Structures are given as C-alpha cells and as structure tokens.
Amino acid sequence: MSNALPSIGLDELFKADASSSSTIESKSRSHLIGLILAGVTGGAAIVLSVVAAPFVAPALRKVCLPYVPASAAQVENVIAALRLTSARSVVDLGSGDGRLVLAACKELGVRGTGVELNPWLVLYSRYRAWRDGVSHCASFTTTDLWKLDLRPYDCVLIFGVQQMMSQLEHKLDAELGRDSAVVACRFPLPQRKPYRTIGSGIDTVWLYTNALPRHDFADYPFHKFSGVSQHADVRAADNFY
C-alpha cells in the first residue's frame, strides 16, 4: 500500500505567499505609524516644555515674580502717575507683555525699556511695539532685574510682590538719583510714604518722587488725565521719597 501525499497547487502557494506578504506589510505600516505618532507626541511634549518653562520658572526662584497682566485701570493709573513726573526714560522691571511700556511710549512720548526674564514675553512685546509703531522708542530685553543698572533711567515702574519690595527699595536707594521717580503697583515701598497714591484696591499705584514742587500738588488738575476722574481716589502724603 502506498502513502499518498496531499498535493498543493501553485495557486494555493501563491495565495499563501501573498497573504503572508500582506500581513508583514500591514505590521510594518502599523509599526511605522506607531513610530511617527510617538515621535510627534514626543516632539509636542518637548515644544510644550520649552514654551511653558519660562512661565513656570518664576515659581522656582527665591523671590517669585509671576506674570500677571496689568488691568486697564492699572495701566491708566500708571500713566496718570507718570504725567506727574518729568521722566523721559522709563524702565519697567518685570514688563510681562509690555503693555505699560507701550502705553507710556504712545501716550507720553517717553523712551521705555521693558526688562523681563521670559523670552517669549520679550518677543511678543517687541512684536507689539512694531505693530503699534513705537519700536523706535520702546525696547525689551531678557535681563534679571537684580542685575540691571538703574542709573540710566529717571523713572522705574514695578509690579512687584510683597516679599521683594524691601530688597528692591535698597537697590533703588543705591542706584537712583534724587530726582528720579518710582511708580509701584500692587505693593508700596515699605520704608517710604508715597508722594501720591492713585486708585484703590488692586489697582492702586504709589508714586515716589522729588521732581515736582510740593506746594502745587494739592490743586494739581488730575481730572485732565486719562483714566483719572475729578473725583478719583488720589491722595497725597506729607513725607515722600
């Protein structure tokens, strides 16, 4: 008795080979798509980390100065305070998106410098200066405010936090001239009474300066200034910077 082996035709062999090749190609495509998705996800995570890092970094510093945009009322109060000075060169310490510097340049014609550690905010501020047509008088730089020499400026703007104001006051004492002005927002300088206080609550602005004659201050026409009405909460102090 002979043993008969099953015969497999050429068609069946070709079909089996084609099916195997198709399976391999499908697995290869799936693997490639997986690699692409993993690469895109990883790249997006890296980009997000790079963009987010400058915004998160302030929380890791000894003195945290987070990015909090100034409100419209705060900007108006700062401009009102600047109008009471003879400042021609203004520096904003922690300039954020640049809105204070840009407002000062557009409304008062001063030269403004914004100092900000976040490079993305600096780039955005430069774009806004170009867009608003004030790039000739508004500049922005990525600099640590504690390392900046304040002597070239006759007015300093600061939206600070309470724990930094005392240290900042020592820096102002060491580097600013007697005729220089300081405009503090959110928190006042701890050791001085302001020359003028404008606004109330979180929009309060404190002006410290020796640049104006004191006897003229009580009747100063604040109602002429943008954002400060005739009945605005504007107060003077007997002792000032």
205 and 104 together in one domain: yes
CATH code, domain carrying 215? 3.40.50.150
158 and 213 together in one domain: yes
- Is 3 among the domain residues? no
Beta strands in 105-179 (DSSP E): 111-115, 138-141, 155-159
The angle, 0 to 180 degrees and rounded to 10, between the axes of the packed helices 99-108 and 72-83 is: 40
147 and 56 together in one domain: no
Residue for token pair 């007697």: 178
104 and 208 together in one domain: yes
> Could you list the mean pLDDT of each consecutive 10-residue stretch along the chain, which spans 241 residues?
52 56 64 68 51 43 67 95 94 95 96 95 96 96 92 93 90 88 93 91 90 42 42 43 39
Q: What distance in Å separates the CA atoms of residue 108 and residue 83, rounded to the nearest whole number?
A: 8
- Is 153 among the domain residues? yes
129 and 229 together in one domain: yes
Cα dist. 212→78, 79, 176, 220, 234 in Å? 17, 16, 16, 11, 16
43 and 151 together in one domain: no
139 and 22 together in one domain: no
Q: What distance in Å separates the CA atoms of residue 196 and residue 174, rounded to the nearest whole number?
A: 22
Structural domain that includes position 22: 10-60
Cross-strand partners of 196: 207, 236
Angle (CA) 53 55 56, round 5°: 65
Tokens of 114: 């914004």
- Is 1 among the domain residues? no
* Total domain count, the chain: 2
The reported pLDDT for the residue numbered 26 is 65
The reported pLDDT for the residue numbered 94 is 92
- Is 41 among the domain residues? yes
45 and 88 together in one domain: no
